[in-house]
Structure 1
Amino acid sequence: MFPNNTAFKIAVTTNAPSADTVVWSVADSNGAIKTQGSFAVSAGVQTSTLSCKSTWSGYGALTATLRSAGGTLPRSGTRPTGIATFGVLPDLSSAIGTVTYAHQDQHRFGMQGFNGNIAALHALGISWTIDDREVSAMEPNGPYTYTPSVNDLDPFYKANPDQMRIVRLDGLPAWDSKTGQFNDSYYAPSNMTEFKDFMARVGTDTSAIRSANYPNQQKNYYQVTWEPSLGWADSDANFVAMYKAAYEGIHSTDANAVVMGTGNPFPANCDTCTTGYLQKFGALGLWNYIDAVSTHGYWNAGTYPAHPPELQDSDPDPANQANALDNQMTQLRSVMQAGKPNMKLFFTEAGTSYDPGLSYGPTVPSQNQLFAHAAVGVRSHIIVLGGGAQVTTLFFGPDYPGEVGYGSFFDLNDAQGAFGATNLSPKPEAMAFATMTRVLDGTNTLGRVKGTPSGTFAYAFQQLGNGKVVTAAWAHSNAQWPTSGGVYSQTYSTSYTLQVDNAGTSGIVTKIDGYGNVTTVPYSNGAVTLTLTEVPQYIVSNNATVAKNNSTVPLGYTGQ
């Protein structure tokens, strides 16, 4: 990934049987050719270097062949045959200006899969990662073997204090497990007294680390369980008792603790979703032992991008409509407000895979699959923030084995992907993420824009310090998005009129496309006419009063 308007090089290696000509092109995420050319090569192995600079931002897919001898770029790891990819990062300083953060926790984007890869985190605009403090990580061999220390901090965080920690607490070693072997907090610990004391030591440790390394961070954030509905096998009472021990232990030593749960895979609308657990265990006292809610952000696992987050919004069956991610957000915020008003909400994982049944190979993923993967992935995080989450966490960094396509980057070494891979090249999703974070970090949520037509989605945000308004908007058509696989429309569009100023006024707003390219658009009578597609665009305007009047703040959301 390269900065906008900065020189970089593309090196092309050939092994032509005789003198020949390389014909090359660079296409964007939509498959449109941005630039192309050719150059002569002699026989045998040689490397030719193109000197490049781009004022266009986004994803680039390089293709190349020999005019006479043919051939194409080889498959590399999880990246298919025929392309080499790169990204040009947007420079949006002129469009959105600089935001001042009163405290560090106002940042809104975390990520899984790049702990240690600070270059990738910075390129993607990330401020939160997840740090392990489970009993299984800190006391694998026996009780009271962990001693808190301000120096008990991964060197990565020490060197990069712009990366805040969400402290992960699930995971019990064999010695503290009712099963006699590791379990991911699917049972309460065997030794609850030691567990509570362990959590007090984690609080001591975390509080000291924050004071020494994060002086502008207001709170410390702890997540007690991780997708417990995938395996919880203990009693209901013990689930609440485990939270009580964690909560009381942490709060006994950390006056700035925010203890979060329950971290289920789906936000709402089922017994095993986060709302189901909050209601079930809340009736047994859980609300007393959480300061905020954390959840994961999946909406129909195993069916993306064939099943985008808005698919069921237009379903005639209300029961199906409730599964749409925007409606799950509304339900989750409602349950939270009934249980404990005005709580913070963290999404600690949300990701998008390729379509079911696909396997990495010479022709997988296709350009169309990569287009859909990016469009659906970025929309899900906008819905989460627009629906009232303080923080959302992108999942995942590189492709990894076992689940196909969740990475936002190709792993160029390993055919099935690898955790911790570092030889990477971006997918369109990575570059869409890089734009989204630059535009929406440093904002408060104003909420969903009122009165949008069916199939049109618009969420308003305002920069901290009563700054500029940013409206993220896109269109989705089920008819253009086959749920059984197939070709997803890259050309579907619809017209939408967004009010950006007072009636009777005219002027200009700034439009940022989904990959960070900036244009200006005139408006008249206070409204701008937009052409929306399946890829979000961002409209930057100045009249916050109009934006606030035309949007609905999510229930219980109180800002960053």
Structure 2
Amino acid sequence: MISADTPTTDGMRIFPNNTAFNIAVTTNSPNADTVIWSVADANGATKTQGSFAVKSGVQTATMSCKSTWSGYGSITATLQSNGGTLPNMGTRPMGIATFGVLPNLTSVLGTVTYAHQDQHRFGMQGFNDNIAALHDLGISWTIDDREVSAMEPNGPNTYTPSVSDLDPFYKAHPDQMRIVRLDGLPAWDSKTGQFNDSYYAPVNMTEFQNFMGRVGTDTSLIRAANYPTQQNNYYQVTWEPSLGWADSQANFVAMYKAAYLGLHSTDPNAIVMGPTNPFPANCDTCTTGYLQTFGALGLWNYIDAVSTHGYWNAGTYPSHPPELQDSDPNPANQANALDNLMSQLRSVMQAGKPNMKLFVTEAGTSYDPGINYGPTSPSQNQLFAQAAVGVRSHIITLGGGAQVSTFFYGADYPGETGYGTFFDLNDAQGAYGASNLSPKPEALAFATLTRVLDGTNTLGRVTGTAAGTYAYAFQQLGNGKVVTAVWAHSNAQWPASGGLYSQTYSTSYSLQVDAAGASGNVTEIDGYGNVSTVPYTNGKVTLTLTEVPQYIVSSNATVAKSNATVPVGYTGQ
């Protein structure tokens, strides 16, 4: 009886700030009626509302809008007399149609100059060929396939490197850099006689090393032709090997040795990374566990950097956010908090091979267990919580010493519910490669995060914060402005058993932004890119923190550095 949309030609339903866009409402009322409509933000607060008359039959009314507010918009609409609600579409529940308004923060943050393209800090999985999505989200890194299984599926020595051996997407959009993926063996090179995701070493190790030399040649040519300011090429050898590694420990190291020697034989700018396990630390099958086990067998000699996935051991969904264990009196549970996992990982890296780069090449937040795609789920509260938890996890990984953090995933997909940053409007269970999308709150929280923290170096976690308060400091490249990401988390307001997460919980926090005795103003950017000016006195600004991060822009880097601890082994971008 009633539907609504904010149509765009790129399928994203995301708009620049202060730029006109349309909300189209289509009705099929049995008689003349009145449409009652509203737009709410990610917190469920009404931003605007109204009504208009419609005739009977199929009618489409278009409202022209312009928003100076940034963030996620959720449209609701019904007929005053005949009722009805907006229909369920794909993975988006009934009752809402969603859109986004991007923040414009140039006047606040200025423009950062990058000496090297690979100083950018944000990657994405799930949107490899969707440049509109990548630009909306502020992404600079995606993962490109160069596995044996992709390049030599039918036999050895069938792949010839070439500068033209590049997906046209990358050639057309050289702002998107490649993390070169190397896991995956075809049947002819597999000990199982069928494809395996590098859970066994290759049958033909000599050919594997030769193949990696050709990948190095290929990547060097591509970088020179398409990425002239990119300093290095980045190669990820394995992908979550702890989920299935079935070969010997010696063969794991031998596989890395072959990859390392092959790549470095032809690519002087190669950065070979691994082992890329799901969790950063605190278990034998985590990234630290593999680094320690295989490092003792020589693995440190065959990696230039560490790659990991950024999940935390207790489950990556709203009811178990990354900080949930911090206030747990059990030290074993505290160790599973993501900030502690990052600290453990950095320490193990430093002991094994000092000052290495760290790439988090996947980290996502699903819906809570038991929530499925459907007409009545997810709820507004679940979407609010996913955004809050998702953005906090990436701040923690960057603040904990990762050079790059990678969002997972583009749109909803089948099999694992809710990891998508966007709803898929065509497919009830989601689909890989979906292109008819509408954003979740997480998409706009991510878009704000990238615009605020890309082009920064990590200063580290702010010292002396009270329990339940989190603050990480960053500084723009070229000794620019200081940005401090701050939020609060309360286990009591965030039930581990699921339920309603508090959207109103807050606590007061005093952040030092200048020297003692100084007064002035700082800029506050909320979690969705809306800007306000906040005064400070005696060098400190009083803030009201919530479960959604906010960002404080200040200028006294000396004070920020003295009050933060740089992660062990982190040497900047």
- Confirm or deny a common fold (TM above 0.5): yes
The aligned residue for residue 21 of structure 2 is: 8
Residues 536 and 542 of structure 2 are in contact (CA less than 8 Å); yes or no, is this contact kept in structure 1?
Answer: yes
Deviation digits for residues 162-185 of structure 1, max 9, x if unmatched?
000000000000000000000000
How far did residue 300 of structure 1 move? 3.2
Task: Tell me what 1:225 maps to.
Answer: 238
Residue matched to 1:319: 332
Equivalence for 2:421:
408
Aligned counterpart, 2:192 = 179
Which residue, 200, 203, 217 being the options, matches 2:216? Answer: 203
Residue in 1 aligned with 2:567?
Answer: 554
Deviations 1:477-518 (A, max 9, x none): 000001111000000000000000000000000000000000
Deviations 1:179-217 (A, max 9, x none): 000000000000000000000000000000000000000
**What is the alpha-carbon distance in structure 1 between the residues aligned to residue 190 and residue 558 of structure 2?**
55
- Structure 2 matches for 1:426-441, cutoff 5 A? 426-441=439-454
Unpaired stretches in structure 1, ≥5 consecutive residues: none
- Where 2:528 maps in the other structure, the secondary structure is coil
Instruction: Give the counterpart of 1:520 among 533, 542, 545.
Output: 533
1:104-134 Cα distance to aligned partner (Å, 9 max, x none): 0000000000001000100100000000000
Question: Which amino acid in structure 2 is aligned with residue 215 of structure 1?
Answer: P
Partner of 2:513: 500
1:105 to 89, 111, 118: 118
Contact 2:316 2:365 in 1 (8 A): no
Corresponding residue for residue 369 of structure 2: 356
TM-fit CA distance, 1:337: 0.1
What is the CA–CA distance in structure 1 between the aligned matches of 2:250 and 2:336, rounded to whole Å? Answer: 29
SS in 2 for 1:410: strand
Say yes or no: does 1:289 pair with 2:302.
yes
Structure-1 residue corresponding to 2:8? none
Aligned pairs for 1:309-458 (under 5 A) are 309-458=322-471
Among residues 471, 474, 480, which one is paired with 1:467 in the alignment? 480
CA contact (8 A) 1:501 1:526 kept: yes
3-state SS in 2 of match to 1:471:
strand
Q: Distance in 1 between matches of 2:318 and 2:284?
A: 25
Percent of aligned positions that are identical: 85
Alignment-mate amino acid for residue 279 of structure 2: F
Unaligned ranges ≥5, structure 2: 1-13
Name 1:58's counterpart in structure 2: 71
- 1:262-290 deviation line (CA, Å, top 9, x unaligned): 00000000000000000000000000000
Residue identity matched to 1:114: F
- 2:226 is matched with 213
Q: How far did 1:303 drift?
A: 5.2
- Among residues 523, 534, 538, which one is paired with 2:551 in the alignment? 538
The size of the alignment, in residue pairs, is 560
- Paired with 1:529 and 1:302, the residues of 2 have a C-alpha distance of 33
Q: 1:319: Cα distance to partner?
A: 1.1
Would the alpha carbon gap of residues 204 and 303 (structure 1) be closer, same or farther in structure 2, given more than 3 Å must change? closer
Compute the TM-score of the two structures, normalised by the length of structure 1. 1.00
Distance apart, 1:317 and its partner CA: 1.0
Does structure 1 residue 49 correspond to structure 2 residue 65?
no
Choose from 89, 96, 104 the match for 1:76: 89
Distance in 1 (alpha carbons) for counterparts of 2:108 and 2:510: 21
Deviation at 1:55, TM superposition (A): 0.2
Letter in 1 for 2:457: N
Q: Which of 119, 129, 144 matches 1:131? A: 144
Are residue 254 (structure 1) and residue 294 (structure 2) matched?
no
Q: C-alpha root-mean-square deviation of aligned residues, in Å?
A: 0.5
Partner of 1:252: helix, strand, or coil?
Answer: helix
Q: Is the 8 A contact 1:56 1:88 kept in 2?
A: yes
SS in 2 for 1:327: helix
8 A Cα contact 2:314 2:336, kept in partner:
no
What is the letter of the counterpart of residue 519 of structure 2?
S
Q: Cα deviations across residues 4-41 of structure 1 (Å, max 9, x unaligned)? A: 00000010100001000000000000000000000100
Q: 2:496 aligns with which of 478, 483, 492?
A: 483
- The amino acid of 2:110's aligned partner reads G
**Aligned match of 2:166 in 133, 150, 153?**
153
Structure 1 segments, 4+ long, off by >6 Å, are: none
TM-score, structure 2 normalization: 0.97
Contact 2:513 2:539 in 1 (8 A): yes
